[in-house]
Amino acid sequence: MSQSQKEVEDMEKFMTVLMEVKGSLATQNEKLDTLLDLKPKIEAAYDTANSADRRSLENEKDTDRLREKISTRASKSDVERIVQEKDNWKKNLPHRRWLLFC
């Protein structure tokens, strides 16, 4: 084999490898474009997840506040007892005449 024929074969091999690299780069470019197209959707999903997480924390705080308020409120039996005491107080009020003499 002559030197020039060997150089031609080496050049053919190099060009073959170069074309494979070019094809590989085109495939990688397509994949990158696909990922870049998905980026806004991923960011929107991330923002939605963060806002949902914040909202759930706020809801937990609200729930805790409501539980605390409910625990400090009077029960139905307490309200009935207080109403009964007020009714009894009105019934046991001295007559107006007695108040006039004082």
Run means of pLDDT, 10 residues per run, the chain, 102 residues:
87 94 95 92 94 93 88 77 75 58 54
pTM of the predicted structure, to 2 decimals: 0.45
Task: Find tokens 């007695």 and name the residue.
Answer: 98
Model pLDDT, residue 81: 83
Distance CA 23, CA 67 (A): 64
Query: 82, 74 in Cβ contact below 8 A?
Result: yes
